[in-house]
Amino acid sequence: MFMKRLICLLLLVALSPAQGDPAAGVPTQVRALFAQKCSQCHGGDLVRPKGRFGYAEDLARIAKRYVKAGDADESELWWYLIGEQEQMPPKNAKNGPLSLSDLALVRWWIRDGAKAPLADASSATPAVEGSPSLVAKSHVLFVHFPIALVFAALLAEALFMWRGGLGVCNTGRFCITFAALSACVTAFTGWSAAESWSPGRVETHRWLAVAALCTSTLAALVCPLAARRGGWPRRSYRLLLVVAAALVMLAGHQGGLLVHGRGYFDL
């Protein structure tokens, strides 16, 4: 281990920017290196990245979480690369281990402040990028409406039935209509918000939410008929309410995992 560090340091001197690499190019090279050697297990497009670290091409995020800028020996990232923690990349990595000059490059990058690459159009796209529009941002505001309203409609209808009411509960009718309308707005803003995520990650959330939108809209449409006629309209209205509530809950859960990470429920 000591020898490895020594050789590293020697290489570092040889690599010093006075002789070649302009400092601005180092972050870009480091990102290309991580994209090649780490993305197999930590790429932004993976649904289940290893070790819950899924942004190998996003140097800004890596720096924030794993690097003490200016000091490689105090940086967790460095400990992984030299095998003081588990060796990264592991032996079974498809694109092989890092060479000593790769290590020197990373060490240089950390010493130079662990900067993110200057934006360039040809760069690999990180998982979350760019600043979302106001429409996309408002998604977090609107999501709460269909979730609460579908459940309110279901609860109202259940209480109404329990008390032996005739027809369909008017409060429930109001709630499901408002739920369907707000679900349309939520889906629209969500579609826009999804653009800043890699498609693999949002697909489950997206289609569960679309299914929730469809069932709550159907429930809202069947409701006036169910109010007038018992039999199948009323039964299908109640069934649709239950299915819409289940879907809205699953879609909301998936959305929560996207934002808060899969480790949110870990104790």
Which range of residues in 23-31, 81-89, 177-185, 212-220 is near ligand HEC by CB under 6 A?
Answer: 81-89
**Closer Cβ to ligand HEC, 80 or 197, answer by number:** 80
The Cα 116–Cα 154 span in angstroms is: 49
- d(Cα 145, Cα 163) in Å, to the nearest integer? 27
CA-based nearest residue to 30, from 106, 112, 101: 106
Residues between 91 and 130 with contacts to ligand HEC, criterion CB under 6 A: 92-93, 98
Q: How far apart are the first and last CA of the chain?
A: 35
Over its C-alpha atoms, the chain yields an Rg (Å, rounded) of 26
Beta-carbon neighbour count of residue 229 at 10 Å? 12
Site for ligand HEC contains 37 (CB under 6 A) = yes
CA distance 144 to 252: 9
Binding of ligand HEC by 205 (CB under 6 A): no
> Residue 187 half-sphere exposure, CB side, CA atoms within 13 Å?
18
φ, ψ at 125 (rounded to 5°): -80, 125
89 binds ligand HEC (CB under 6 A): yes
Question: Judged by CB under 6 A, which stretch of 49-57, 167-175, 186-194, 240-248 contacts ligand HEC?
Answer: 49-57
Smallest separation (angstroms) from ligand HEC to the CB of 70: 18
Interface stretch with ligand HEC, choices 20-28, 37-45, 196-204, 254-262 (CB under 6 A): 37-45
CB of 239 to ligand HEC, least distance (A): 44
Determine, following the binding rule CB under 6 A, whether residue 42 of this chain makes contact with ligand HEC: yes
> What whole-number distance in Å separates Cα of residue 234 and Cα of residue 229?
7
Q: Select from 15, 32, 45, 53 the one that contacts ligand HEC (CB under 6 A).
A: 53
Provide the binding-site residues for ligand HEC, judged by CB under 6 A. 34, 37-38, 40-42, 50-51, 53, 66, 77, 80, 86, 88-90, 92-93, 98
